[in-house]
Structure 1
């Protein structure tokens, strides 16, 4: 259940972040409400994840790493944003770091 809530938090945060890009600097005002609601919902779900017992280092690490990776990949296809080899290597390092934190938490 905890991982499912965290996955929902990640999905909503990615939507809100992509909404920031779609809003064109808030010139497209129709995006303001979904962005605000999205971030509030994401933080609520992250809080719920912590309340359900996931360590903050693991929850926040997974939340941010998945958010960065998903936003970069989705923005490439939705908005045509660049996604270079160096960026992909950086994403791989982020994911590796989160895995190390997760594995260290499971051992300790």
Structure 2
């Protein structure tokens, strides 16, 4: 169950981040509201996940998958360019999270 909560936290964080781009500098009320509500819900889900998971790996997973989600969402929704160096960076982020998870574990003891 904590990983489901973490997945929901990531989904709401990515949605909020993409809505921030769509808000046009917070000048569009609908997307701006999605930003605020999305981040609030994301933090609540992550806080719930942290009751049984370790903070370091969870935050690494949350931020890494959020970064990848925002990267892919930017490409799909806003026609942002995919550059080879950006893809390399995304792979490095994912590898870092994998290494961190092996090193510190995810579940609290």
TM-score normalized by structure 1? Answer: 0.93
C-alpha distance in 1 between matches for 2:102 and 2:82: 28
1:74 matched to 2:73? The reply is yes
1:21 matched to 2:21? The reply is yes
Q: Deviations over 1:17-62 (max 9, x none)?
A: 00000111112122222111100000111111101x1100110000
- What is the match of residue 45 of structure 2? 45
C-alpha distance in 2 between matches for 1:12 and 1:93: 23
- What is the match of residue 6 of structure 1? 6
Q: Which runs of 4+ in 1 moved over 4 A?
A: none
Structure 2: tracts of 5 or more residues without a match: none
- What is the match of residue 55 of structure 1? 54
Q: CA deviation at 1:96?
A: 0.3
Structure 1: tracts of 5 or more residues without a match: none
Q: CA deviation at 1:105?
A: 2.0
C-alpha distance in 2 between matches for 1:74 and 1:40: 20
